[in-house]
């Protein structure tokens, strides 16, 4: 049996480029359906996605071409048990230390991302 492919999605955008975020999450959802091992590392503006309720504010589509970002995140968290790691350096900068964060998320230092990249392919969005 072939070994499962492993990926880490590095999300660096949120309100500044929601179409990129939606594309990444849509790709991740598709890959999970093929039983890939994947997690997320949220950094820079992407760290804001860890704030509970933030993804629901990213209403950007003019047509129903993609699933809403909040729906994609819920699918990844609730149906696929994906983990969302939040860059420790971004937590205070974006005020995430003063708010509730999404389920299946955990604050980790950048070195943790480096550790994951030693064992997985990284996809940056």
Domains in the chain with CATH codes:
6-124 (3.40.1260.10)
Least confident of 28-32, 59-63, 95-99: 59-63
pLDDT at 62 over 60: no
CA dist., res. 103 & res. 110, Å (int): 20
Which comes out higher in pLDDT, residue 92 or 60?
Answer: 92
Cβ-proximal residues to 95 (8 Å cutoff; 6+ apart), any chain: none
**Is a pLDDT exceeding 80 seen at residue 24?**
yes
pLDDT, one tens digit per residue, over 63-83 is 566 789 999 999 999 999 999
Q: How high is the pLDDT of residue 61?
A: 59
Lowest mean pLDDT of 11-15, 17-21, 49-53, 86-90, name the range: 17-21
How far is Cα 72 from Cα 112, in angstroms, rounded to an integer?
Answer: 24
């Amino acid at each position: 049996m072939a070994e499962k492919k492993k990926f880490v999605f590095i999300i660096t955008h949120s309100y500044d480029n929601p179409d990129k975020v939606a594309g990444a999450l849509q790709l991740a959802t598709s890959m999970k359906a093929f039983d890939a091992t994947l997690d997320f590392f949220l950094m820079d503006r992407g760290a804001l996605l860890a704030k509970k309720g933030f993804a629901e504010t990213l209403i950007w589509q003019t047509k129903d071409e993609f699933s809403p970002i909040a729906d994609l995140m819920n699918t990844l968290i609730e149906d696929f048990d994906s983990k969302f790691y939040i860059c420790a350096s971004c937590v205070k900068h974006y005020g995430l230390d003063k708010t509730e964060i999404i389920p299946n998320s955990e604050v980790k230092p950048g070195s943790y991302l480096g550790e994951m990249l030693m064992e997985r392919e990284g996809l940056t969005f």
